[in-house]
Amino acid sequence: MPNKTIYVSDKDLPLYTRAQELAGGNLSKAISTALRKYVDAEEGRLAGYDEITLKVGYGPARKRRRQRFVGVKLAEGGWSDGNRAEIYRVYRSRTGKFVIHIERTPDVKHEGSEVGWKRKLGLGEQTWAIGPEEGSLEVVDTLEELKEKIPAELYEMVAASGDAPPVEDLDI
């Protein structure tokens, strides 16, 4: 196996020492793992993909766990019945799979009345915002599987995007 010499500045030495500890004493393994992740992320970025971090689980956003992948957003849409809203986001991962992220707001229907959550919050004809209470993430392999999981209008948007690359280089 070839040897490579890496020069480390004095200020970065604690970082290399900690990496070696975390890798079970094998600094070469730590460096290779870090380089693999770096190359993968940079190749994805150059191909037009982004690192995407989504919140999943129940409760306030700060308490939900996060899941991360490399992909590109294809479409976003949602619905509301006046008491609750669902926001759908569909991504294509770098491996070509479809990622469905759904956020659901809390049901804020006023007790004993049908006034709905906008009215309860004192919101008439104005802009409103409420944080999601629940987030879920699902991965499917094909457009056919995706069709069963999202609203028809959103599916049409995703299907229309076809296999278009995230970035198209124009020679203009």
Same domain, 41 and 63: no
Helix (H, G, I), strand (E, B) or coil at 11: helix
Which residue range is the domain that position 43 belongs to?
12-47
Total-model pTM: 0.66
Note whether residue 129 is domain-resident.
Answer: yes
Question: Both tokens of residue 72?
Answer: 């590109």
β-partners of residue 92 are 72, 98
DSSP annotation string for 115-127: -HHHHHTT-SSS-
First-to-last C-alpha distance (Å) of the chain: 46
Amino acid residing at 70: V
Cα–Cα distance for residue pair 9/29, rounded to 1 Å: 20
Domain count within the chain = 2
Same domain, 22 and 62: no
pLDDT of 93 reads 92
pLDDT of 63 reads 77
Cα–Cα distance for residue pair 36/69, rounded to 1 Å: 15
Per-residue pLDDT tens digits for 89-136: 999 998 889 999 998 887 765 444 445 555 655 555 545 456 667 889
> Could you tell me what percent of the chain has a pLDDT over 70?
82
Same domain, 64 and 28: no
Same domain, 129 and 100: yes
pLDDT of 132 reads 64
- The pLDDT of residue 62 is above 80: no
Question: For tokens 């994805």, what's the residue?
Answer: 44
Question: Both tokens of residue 53?
Answer: 């971090």
Of residues 76 and 171, the one with the higher pLDDT is: 76
Per-residue pLDDT tens digits for 129-163: 566 678 899 999 999 999 999 999 999 999 988 77
How long a stretch of residues is the chain? 172
Per-residue pLDDT tens digits for 128-138: 456 667 889 99
Burial class (CB in 10 A: 0-12, 13-18, 19+), 71: buried
Note whether residue 166 is domain-resident.
Answer: no
